[in-house]
Chains A and B, each alone.
Chain A
Amino acid sequence: EGQVVESGGGLVQPGGSLRLSCAASGFSFSSYWMRWVRQAPGKGLEWVANIKEDGSQKQYVDSVKGRFTISRDNTKNSLYLQMNSLRAEDTGLYSCARERGGDGAFDIWGQGTLVTVSS
Chain B
Amino acid sequence: DIQMTQSPSTLSASVGDRVTITCRASQSISSWLAWYQQKPGKAPKLLIYKASSLETGVPSRFSGSGSGTEFTLTISSLQPDDFATYYCQQFHYWTFGQGTKVEIK
Scan residues 59-76 of chain A and give those whose CB is less than 8 A from a CB of chain B.
none
Contacts of A105 in B (CB 8 A): 34, 46, 49-50, 55
Q: In the bound complex, what is the Cα–Cα distance between A14 and B43 (angstroms)?
A: 27
Q: Find residues 58-105 in chain B having any chain A CB closer than 8 Å to their own CB.
A: 87, 89, 91, 93-99
Q: B87 and A44: CB pair below 8 A?
A: yes
B58 to chain A, nearest CB (A): 11
Contact between A50 and B46, CB atoms less than 8 A apart: no
Assuming the contacts A104-B34, A107-B55, A110-B43, asked whether A47 and B95 have C-beta atoms less than 8 A apart, the reply is yes
Q: C-beta contact mask, A69-93 vs B, less than 8 Å → 1, else 0? A: 0000000000000000000000000
| B12 on the A face (CB < 8 A) | no
Contact across chains for B89 and A106 when beta carbons are under 8 A apart: yes
Task: Name the residue of chain A whose CB is nearest to the CB of B43.
Answer: A109
B32 (CB) vs chain A CBs: closest residue: A104
Q: Could you say which of A47, A95, A107, A110 contacts B94, with CB atoms under 8 Å apart?
A: A47
Bound Cα distance from A75 to B7, whole angstroms: 43
Which residues in B have their C-beta under 8 angstroms from that of A95?
43
Residue B26, interface by CB 8 Å? no
Whether a CB of chain A sits under 8 angstroms from the CB of B8 is no
A residues near B (Cβ < 8 Å) are: 35, 44-47, 50, 95, 100, 103-107, 109-112
CA distance A46 to B87 in the complex (A): 11
Q: Which residues of A contact B10 (CB under 8 A)?
A: none
Question: In whole angstroms, how far apart are the Cα atoms of A76 and B71 in the complex?
Answer: 39
Distance between Cα atoms of A106 and B49 in the complex (Å): 9
Q: Which residues of B contact A45 (CB under 8 A)?
A: 36, 38, 44, 87, 89, 96, 99
A106-B34 in contact (CB<8A): yes
Asked if B53 CB lies within 8 Å of chain A CBs, one says yes
Instruction: Known pairs A35-B94, A44-B98; list 14 more (Cβ under 8 Å).
Output: A45-B89, A45-B96, A45-B99, A47-B95, A47-B96, A100-B49, A103-B34, A103-B49, A104-B49, A104-B91, A106-B36, A106-B44, A106-B89, A107-B55
